[in-house]
A and B are shown apart, each in its own frame.
Chain A
Amino acid sequence: MDDQDLNAVALHPELTQDPRELRWVVSTCPRDLHHAATHPDGPLSGLVRDGLLSDIDGGPGWITTSVADPGTWRDVVGEVRRAVRATAAAVQAEGVLPVGSGSGGGEVRCPIPDDELALLAASLLQEHIAPIAGAHGGRISIRKVTGGVVTVDLVGACHGCPAAVFTLKQRFEAVLQRTAPGARVIEA
């Protein structure tokens, strides 16, 4: 996806427990989309007023939409897709930052402020990395997030084991970069 134009918004819908609700994953924009999705002047709020949607929410890299009775997703998905896309595009367009020389230069669309990156890193750590660290009798935790760099502490069996540092840190960085390109993970 590196060679794509910066206006591209990669998104796809996923089903949730609630059959009326769709979770749109915006994989090009890991930013917190809550504000933009629920903003009264936004295109999604317009669809709520038109009676197509009953509910909207948003978070880091995702927007959920619930279809209003008696509609079905087959009828409204096209319009909702365009509204979600416009919302994400607006957030993405807020700025494009050059990436450091570490990853070979280039640009990253939709750069994440440190506070949002911290939230994202914490949830990904909880979901993907902590179980693995725990299985080996260790623990990994975030110390701080500054300038797109996540500093982690390794505790327990992990600490001092070069292999553990290598695999856990690498794994975490890979998972993080999947949603936040350019983010880095270092050991304290």
Chain B
Amino acid sequence: MKSTKRKLGIRPCTWVYLFLITFTFVTSQVGQMGLSGLTVSLLVLMLALIKGQLVGYYFMGLGRVKGLWHWPVFIWLFIPGILIGTAFYLTAARV
């Protein structure tokens, strides 16, 4: 972490913050443009899951944890992610 800071002059957590902000603006733009449909919804969901994993891994510090406690946020994101994705897929398949 320190060596990265020295090389780039910016902390890894700051890079993560900038990614999170960028992804948020992309998601918001999709909403404000009124884009809809299965593909758009799944892409927005995927962005949210990536953001969640970044928060868990870098902000909560789970990236440095070994063993069982490395996984709770990943698993938590995975299960509702699959359920939400399935519900939107089934909704689109019905229409």
Tell me whether A and B are bound partners. Answer: no
* Chain A residues proximal to chain B, CB less than 8 Å: none
